[in-house]
Amino acid sequence: MEQAAQLTPQAHQRLVDELEHRSGAHRREISEKIERAREHGDISENADYDAAKNEQGLNEARIRHLEQILKTAQIVEAAVGDTVATGMLVEIRLGPGADPTTYLVGSIEERHADFDVLSTSAPLGQAILGRSAGDTVSYTTPKGKAVEVEIVGVRPL
């Protein structure tokens, strides 16, 4: 069973807005493209028709995905404190002597202009949840490699 996405209120609203757009205006735009392409005659060799049908399939898949996320999502308020949690910024050093990198911890559906997202469902994300600055954490990559990282800092977004 898939784990419920933990979303900040901003990410939740962005997904609600995307679902509304994709299931409303965007769906109608794609239908109009399909109709225009059909008017060009034989659809068996009609690239515009094929492209529009492909776009329709991708849009419908994203709609189903958004509906599933929103149905099970847990909305988490901005975290406070000094431990790693959803919605926090975490600064980690990925190896001895490496420069620290700052990530936004959260669902893969989070977005931020200034920070990459570290998913809480990824092995590294799971390993650092609940930890604090100064902790060294070991985790195993999907390829089976053991990696050690240092948490340099934790702060609210």
- 147 close to 140: Cβ distance less than 8 angstroms: yes
Question: Which residues share a beta bridge with 105?
Answer: 118
Instruction: Look at residue 78 in the predicted model and tell me its pLDDT.
Output: 67
Question: Which run of H or E residues covers position 23?
Answer: helix 9-23
Domain annotation for the chain: domains and CATH numbers: 6-75 (1.10.287.180), 88-156 (3.10.50.30)
Please give the Cα distance from 53 to 6 (Å, whole number): 33
Identify the three-state secondary structure at position 81: coil
**128: nearest Cα among 88, 72, 69:** 88
Instruction: Per residue of the chain (157 residues), give pLDDT as tens.
Output: 456 778 888 889 999 999 999 999 999 999 999 999 888 877 777 888 999 999 999 999 999 999 999 999 888 876 677 899 888 899 999 888 889 999 999 887 887 888 899 988 889 999 999 999 999 999 998 899 998 999 999 998 7
Strands (E), the chain: 6-7, 74-75, 88-93, 101-106, 116-119, 136-140, 146-156
Rg (CA), the chain: 21
Instruction: Look at residue 1 in the predicted model and tell me its pLDDT.
Output: 46
Neighbours of 33 (CB within 10 A): 17
- Beta strands 6-7 and 88-93, pairing class: unpaired
- 115 close to 103: Cβ distance less than 8 angstroms: yes
Its pTM stands at 0.71
